[in-house]
Chain A
Amino acid sequence: MTIEKKVTLWIDGVKVTVPEKTTILQAADSININVPSLCYHPDLSVIGACRVCVVEVDGQRNPVASCSYPVAEGMKVKTSSPLLRRLRRDVVELILDNHPQDCQACVRNGTCELQKLAYDLGVRERLFEGERKRFPVDTSSPVHRNPEKCILCGRCVRVCDEVQGVHNLSVQHRGFNNVVAPAHDCKMIDSVCIHCGQCVNVCPTAAFTEQDATESVFEALSNPDLHVVVHTAPAIRATIGEGFGFRPGTPVTGKLVTALRMAGFHKVFDTNFGADLTIIEESTEFLSRVQKKERLPLITSCSPGWVNFMERFYPELIPLTSTCKSPMSMLSTLLKTYYAQQMGVDPEKIFVVAVMPCTAKKFEAKRPEHMAPWGKPYTDAVLTTRELVWMLKCLGVDFHNLEDGAFDSPLGVSSGAADIFGATGGVMEAALRTAYEKITGKELESLEFETVRGVEGVKETSIQIDGLTINIGVANGLQNAKNLLDRVASGEKQYHIIEIMACPGGCVAGGGQPYPPRGMHVLDPELGRLRAKALYSIDGSKSLRKSHENPAIELLYENFLGAPNSHLCHELLHTHYEPKTPRGVK
């Protein structure tokens, strides 16, 4: 066993002992000295590009970038001095000088890291203004790319490479003409982008943003001919509070429902209902494959980022992937079929809005597979959590002081198993609760499958169901998924069922979630943990905790769908996939 070597140094006169290979920035952070930084992200590789985090080290001719500079025994570091203040200020001004001066009109106004840094470091005048780069905005896909606002910190490139394994973005051209773009500067929609939105999350400015759907929703709400219904994804209730100043991990389901009613939605449903339905359909599909000894593992299909990834990079896995639509698409489809029928409303007059933690859902909603027979999508508009926060602010909703409301029936009734869909491992746990009881006919003693919980990138476990050993794999973050799938492909691992969520931590850390509050950062495992905890607490507090016990679901099958995986189910609730090779690749 190697003993971790420790190093003692002085930062601003404070003695600190840290493990060898710690960086100065990390060491300073450990004693609550916050060195300002920009390109640095604790969960991505270090590139030392922005030069904001410079500090003075005794014996070094020039200041060093604290994010990349390792500590050394006896090192004396200064994190603040008139020189450093000037250098940092100048560096940030240089970034600002090549940035549109439209903070007030920017979607990141108030959440922009550059704006905050410019204020904190005292950029009060522009000394070096000059030519500014000009690029068109790429609005071709749900993830908008605006290189004019890009400050070339490279976080998006790194998250796309390191966390998602997509490698869609890279820095192109040289020097002042640098631009972050997909290969050959092609449009995002023509690229291998999977629309997961992690680039949007890590971007300190508004260089990556989601496609705006708020205008179409506002328009629909004011159209007297339309019946506008909304449903909200499991993860939203755990995160939307952050947009209004609640601590991360505060569940606000009731307030969310009330706010949506105030916004003017005619009915407020719960995507959770779709989640419960997904469990019934998917577990039936799984059990049928197991019984018929068909190809395994079954891979979940709830995450649209994962589906895009699979079609682009693992088309050979199409036969293994569950044909179930996602909870959003299942529920949206039912709203324009079952619900329309029940209410006696013309389905073409129903406008379905889905509030999702996700940018890829915007892409999913527009897929041809999810179009109604009359040529319109089942889901008319997808709002990210961030967009809904803004809409409610725009409407002046006093979110904090709202009374709790309840979802409308019948498509608002859901089990706790549906709530946990928003956390990595949640779909698996929900499926196991149902599969176990279906196979054994016995009631589960403990509903908590702890081994699939937690924010680790890959989780593996085996459970015994009636003498049958079920091997389970759970991955979140697509680089983790890649690692897991490659082990399956090589034959090293055999699973019966695999859950994959595109975003690291699952939907709670989706590409459409609120920018984290100060002191926390995107990809922060602690943030994921807090948000997931909220969902598990909702689940724990419910008496209805298994999808197959949801009475509304039972009713739905009885009155409309027939049996799980029935012909009508396949028609309405299942989909298919196609290999999607990027343009130019044969």
Chain B
Amino acid sequence: MSNPMEQLLERREKAEKRLRREKFNAKVRITVGSATCENAAGAPDVFKKVEELIKRHGLKDVTLSRVGCTGRCDMEPVVTVFSQRTTPVKYIAMTPDKVEKVFDSHILKAIPLKDLAMPNEGTQNTDFSEERLWGDARLTDRFSSVFNDVHFFGKQMRMTLRNCGVIDPEDMDEYIMVRGYQAAVKVLTDMTPNDVVNTVTKSGLRGRGGGGFPTGVKWNFALAQKNEEKYIVCNADEGDPGAFMDRSTIEGDPHTVIEGMIIGGYAIGARQGYVYIRAEYPLAIKRLEIAIAAARQAGFLGTGIFGTNWDFDIEIRLGAGAFVCGEETALIRSIEGERGMPRPRPPYPAASGLWGKPTVINNVETFANIPVVILDGPEWFSSIGTAKSKGTKVFALAGKVCNTGLVEVPMGTTLRDVVYGVGGGIRDGKKFKAVQTGGPAGGCLPESYLDTPVDYESLTAAGSMMGSGGMIVIDEDSCMVDVARFFLDFTQDESCGKCTPCREGTKRMLEILQRITSGRGVEGDIDKLLRLGDTIKRTSLCGLGQASPNPVISTIKHFREEYEAHIREKRCPAGVCAGLLTFSIISEKCIGCGACKRKCPVPCITGKPKEVHEIDQARCIKCGQCFEACKFDAVKRS
């Protein structure tokens, strides 16, 4: 009988035959992005339309499949057309109507529609070939071969998201085609657990969930534990507001997470894995379930996986939507069926975790990197990034930036390159004010920090943090006090309530911020915020509490004058804090049309037609409707 690797390669050959027959060798291959975000943007209707058109035209040599999301949020749904006569064309913001147009021109006449395609800003794709896409190339090269002609993608390096938008996440054969499970088989047949741990250690891979703890060190600690029963857990309880790196990874490439877990399980000696995923991710859960079932069917999970004598299986556990359950000890409690609250460490989960057994918990992104480390080698992996932060990092780029979406860049890329390079700069010609990284645990960095390289140490030194990968760009229209209040509102709401500083302290900080933004701030409030922030940071039980004051502390550090304007001058410089706004009518500009009066819900605007109107300040609720309604700029907001 052939060895496990030969078996896998045989399987790959079979998969290739099948895929060539059913999908790849068609004259035209169409893929429709179909992650949750794409579906929300209308992908199902687009998919149905393509299906219908293929049928209507009786096209036997046009195939259609779903792929994950490429992360181009503002351009979804994305439809990619692979035609034997043209390089892949990415059509954006597709609707059933646009699909008809694409069909008429590109599919039927082989004339791509440039105005519906993703703008490439003059970049040329020179890399694409079917061989490069499905052959033995380096894992990270496939994505670029399809998407590199787009400026937004060309500036990135897709390692975690290497298969997202490239393969059909519900077809395991496609994953096998892109050398899927080869890393697992290599590990199981050629390497000892020690070898694996050493390889991961050598790669310099660090936890992508936020802490940045070296993955190899964590695995080594668990490996050293003498216990028959160990567990490996994938933390997919992504909870930062606006973050969707993990969801996208699972929805676009679930098998890579499974493969990462198989390798991790073998390395530490765990025969059982759990994926802890929030119940609000139904599509990710569904795709993971399909993937696990397929892997089990193929003998990649279960007893004697890949024909070796190693047993490993994975179960899914759903989280009920508590942010704190992303904290590893709370996550463990939740899997055990208890209330998800953190406990003091030590002991660390690697020594005493699930049901008291040694347990390694890694983030989705971390697991997704493992096959790359194994197949392309730790040397290559560690050649990317900075001295202490290796590889890439995925960010959910959001806010007032031109290109929003999921971006993956090598560690060490500067914030400026992310915001202005990949992100395309600030929208509507506004002025950059700050970039917030690290989610609710992170901080806001002003323009002077734009050249900070994106790596664990640099971001922390700058007063923010890597976090799990939230990145929000803030422009001059945002009030930094209000931004801090927003994040604290989130953490305060998500505090589990176990420890005093987080439960009580965040509430008090939020009250002070609310006081300031509503114009009731008093002298000394900034000092109180800093003092409380320091107390909470130093005494909280878990990372959630310890990091919760960061948005406040960092905005005070970099934008103290905004706080002072709110407190001393009762003024919100950005004009955001409603409690501090006044609306008045400029008599020279008012023509007495009454538009403002009609819109005012209170109503507090008086004035006869064609005469200058007036706002009763005592009764005004500062809703801003008059400001919006006036066509003559006669309403002043200050």
Residues on the A chain within 8 Å of B540, using CB: 51
Cβ B538 vs Cβ A62 within 8 A: yes
Cβ B541 vs Cβ A175 within 8 A: no
Bound Cα distance A392, B439 (Å): 60
- Asked if B339 lies at the interface with its beta carbon under 8 angstroms from chain A, I say yes
- Asked if A95 lies at the interface with its beta carbon under 8 angstroms from chain B, I say yes
Bound Cα distance A177, B497 (Å): 8
Which A-chain residue is minimally distant from B529 (CB atoms)? A128
User: Which of A49, A86, A97: most chain B CB closer than 10 A?
Assistant: A49
- Asked if B292 lies at the interface with its beta carbon under 8 angstroms from chain A, I say no
Cβ B495 vs Cβ A176 within 8 A: yes
- Asked if A91 lies at the interface with its beta carbon under 8 angstroms from chain B, I say yes
CB distance from B347 to the nearest CB of A (A): 8
Bound Cα distance A95, B503 (Å): 9
Bound Cα distance A490, B611 (Å): 93
Kindly state the interface size class of chain A when it binds its partner.
Answer: 35 or more
With A87-B535, A90-B531 in contact, do A176 and B507 touch (Cβ < 8 Å)? yes
Bound Cα distance A52, B494 (Å): 22
Cβ A48 vs Cβ B504 within 8 A: no
- Asked if A234 lies at the interface with its beta carbon under 8 angstroms from chain B, I say no
With A48-B344, A176-B492 in contact, do A131 and B504 touch (Cβ < 8 Å)? no
- B469-499 contacts to A (CB < 8 Å): 492-499
Bound Cα distance A69, B539 (Å): 13
Task: Specify which of B341, B508, B528 is in contact with A94 (CB 8 Å cutoff).
Answer: B508
Residues on the A chain within 8 Å of B500, using CB: 49-52, 91, 94-95, 151-152
Cβ B344 vs Cβ A175 within 8 A: no
Task: Specify which of A46, A47, A94, A127 is in contact with B504 (CB 8 Å cutoff).
Answer: A94
- Asked if B537 lies at the interface with its beta carbon under 8 angstroms from chain A, I say yes
- Interface membership of chain A positions 17-32, coded 1 if the CB is closer than 8 angstroms to chain B and 0 otherwise: 0000000000000000
With A62-B546, A63-B538, A91-B539 in contact, do A97 and B508 touch (Cβ < 8 Å)? yes
- Interface membership of chain B positions 498-541, coded 1 if the CB is closer than 8 angstroms to chain A and 0 otherwise: 11111111111001100000000000000010011001011111
CB distance from A406 to the nearest CB of B (A): 52
Residues on the A chain within 8 Å of B541, using CB: 48-49, 51, 65
- A14-62 contacts to B (CB < 8 Å): 46-52, 54, 62
Cβ B497 vs Cβ A63 within 8 A: no
Which B-chain residue is minimally distant from A91 (CB atoms)? B500
- Asked if A174 lies at the interface with its beta carbon under 8 angstroms from chain B, I say yes
CB distance from A219 to the nearest CB of B (A): 41
With A62-B539, A171-B339 in contact, do A69 and B511 touch (Cβ < 8 Å)? no
Cβ B539 vs Cβ A51 within 8 A: yes
Task: Specify which of A47, A98, A173 is in contact with B498 (CB 8 Å cutoff).
Answer: A47
- Asked if A70 lies at the interface with its beta carbon under 8 angstroms from chain B, I say yes
CB distance from A86 to the nearest CB of B (A): 7
Bound Cα distance A97, B506 (Å): 13
- Asked if A283 lies at the interface with its beta carbon under 8 angstroms from chain B, I say no
- Asked if A170 lies at the interface with its beta carbon under 8 angstroms from chain B, I say yes
Task: Specify which of B501, B508, B512 is in contact with A51 (CB 8 Å cutoff).
Answer: B501
Bound Cα distance A95, B498 (Å): 12
Bound Cα distance A128, B507 (Å): 10
Bound Cα distance A98, B493 (Å): 16
Main secondary structure of the interface of B (DSSP, over half): helix
With A130-B507, A130-B508, A174-B322 in contact, do A70 and B346 touch (Cβ < 8 Å)? yes
- Asked if B343 lies at the interface with its beta carbon under 8 angstroms from chain A, I say yes
Residues on the A chain within 8 Å of B346, using CB: 69-70
- Asked if A68 lies at the interface with its beta carbon under 8 angstroms from chain B, I say yes
Residues on the A chain within 8 Å of B535, using CB: 86-87, 90-91, 94
CB distance from B588 to the nearest CB of A (A): 45
With A127-B528, A174-B497 in contact, do A46 and B344 touch (Cβ < 8 Å)? yes
User: Which of B344, B496, B539: most chain A CB closer than 10 A?
Assistant: B539
Bound Cα distance A62, B537 (Å): 8
Which A-chain residue is minimally distant from B507 (CB atoms)? A176
Cβ A97 vs Cβ B504 within 8 A: yes
User: Which of B492, B503, B541: most chain A CB closer than 10 A?
Assistant: B503
Task: Specify which of A46, A52, A87, A151 is in contact with B538 (CB 8 Å cutoff).
Answer: A87
Cβ A98 vs Cβ B504 within 8 A: yes
- Asked if A178 lies at the interface with its beta carbon under 8 angstroms from chain B, I say yes
Bound Cα distance A178, B322 (Å): 14
Cβ B539 vs Cβ A174 within 8 A: no
Residues on the B chain within 8 Å of A94, using CB: 500-501, 504-505, 508, 535
CB distance from B491 to the nearest CB of A (A): 9
Cβ A69 vs Cβ B344 within 8 A: yes
- B390-420 contacts to A (CB < 8 Å): none
CB distance from B529 to the nearest CB of A (A): 10
Residues on the A chain within 8 Å of B546, using CB: 62
Cβ B501 vs Cβ A91 within 8 A: yes
Cβ B494 vs Cβ A128 within 8 A: no
Residues on the B chain within 8 Å of A83, using CB: 538
- Interface membership of chain A positions 92-108, coded 1 if the CB is closer than 8 angstroms to chain B and 0 otherwise: 00110110000000000
Task: Specify which of A46, A65, A70, A175 is in contact with B492 (CB 8 Å cutoff).
Answer: A175
Residues on the A chain within 8 Å of B341, using CB: 171
Task: Specify which of B339, B495, B512, B539 is in contact with A175 (CB 8 Å cutoff).
Answer: B495
- Interface membership of chain B positions 339-354, coded 1 if the CB is closer than 8 angstroms to chain A and 0 otherwise: 1010110100000000
Residues on the A chain within 8 Å of B532, using CB: 90, 128
CB distance from A305 to the nearest CB of B (A): 26
Bound Cα distance A178, B507 (Å): 13
Cβ A95 vs Cβ B511 within 8 A: no
Bound Cα distance A73, B531 (Å): 33
CB distance from A148 to the nearest CB of B (A): 14
Bound Cα distance A91, B537 (Å): 12
Bound Cα distance A51, B537 (Å): 12
Bound Cα distance A91, B540 (Å): 10
Which B-chain residue is minimally distant from A61 (CB atoms)? B538
Bound Cα distance A131, B492 (Å): 14
Cβ A68 vs Cβ B344 within 8 A: yes
Which A-chain residue is minimally distant from B324 (CB atoms)? A174
Residues on the A chain within 8 Å of B498, using CB: 47, 49, 152, 171
Bound Cα distance A448, B514 (Å): 69
Cβ A152 vs Cβ B503 within 8 A: yes
Residues on the B chain within 8 Å of A87, using CB: 535, 538-539
CB distance from A7 to the nearest CB of B (A): 14
Cβ B499 vs Cβ A49 within 8 A: yes
User: Which of A63, A68, A175: most chain B CB closer than 10 A?
Assistant: A175
Cβ B344 vs Cβ A65 within 8 A: yes
Cβ A174 vs Cβ B494 within 8 A: yes
Bound Cα distance A173, B496 (Å): 8
- Interface membership of chain A positions 166-187, coded 1 if the CB is closer than 8 angstroms to chain B and 0 otherwise: 0000110111111000000000
Cβ B508 vs Cβ A178 within 8 A: no
Residues on the A chain within 8 Å of B501, using CB: 51, 90-91, 94
Cβ A175 vs Cβ B343 within 8 A: no
- B317-367 contacts to A (CB < 8 Å): 322, 339, 341, 343-344, 346
With A54-B539, A86-B535, A95-B504 in contact, do A128 and B499 touch (Cβ < 8 Å)? no
Task: Specify which of B495, B511, B538 is in contact with A174 (CB 8 Å cutoff).
Answer: B495
- Interface membership of chain B positions 151-179, coded 1 if the CB is closer than 8 angstroms to chain A and 0 otherwise: 00000000000000000000000000000
User: Which of B496, B498, B499, B504: most chain A CB closer than 10 A?
Assistant: B504
Which residues on B are within 8 Å of A, measured CB to CB?
A: 322, 339, 341, 343-344, 346, 492-508, 511-512, 528, 531-532, 535, 537-541, 546
Q: Which 7 A-B pairs have the closest CB atoms?
A: A178-B497, A48-B344, A175-B495, A94-B504, A68-B344, A128-B508, A130-B511
A-B contact pairs, 28 of them (CB 8 A): A47-B343, A49-B499, A51-B499, A51-B541, A54-B538, A62-B546, A70-B346, A83-B538, A86-B535, A87-B535, A87-B538, A91-B500, A91-B539, A94-B501, A94-B508, A127-B528, A128-B505, A128-B532, A131-B511, A171-B498, A174-B493, A174-B494, A174-B495, A175-B493, A175-B507, A176-B495, A176-B504, A178-B497
Starting from the known contacts A94-B508, A152-B500, 11 additional A-B residue pairs (CB-CB under 8 Å) come to A47-B343, A48-B343, A48-B499, A52-B500, A63-B539, A87-B539, A94-B504, A94-B535, A170-B339, A174-B494, A175-B507
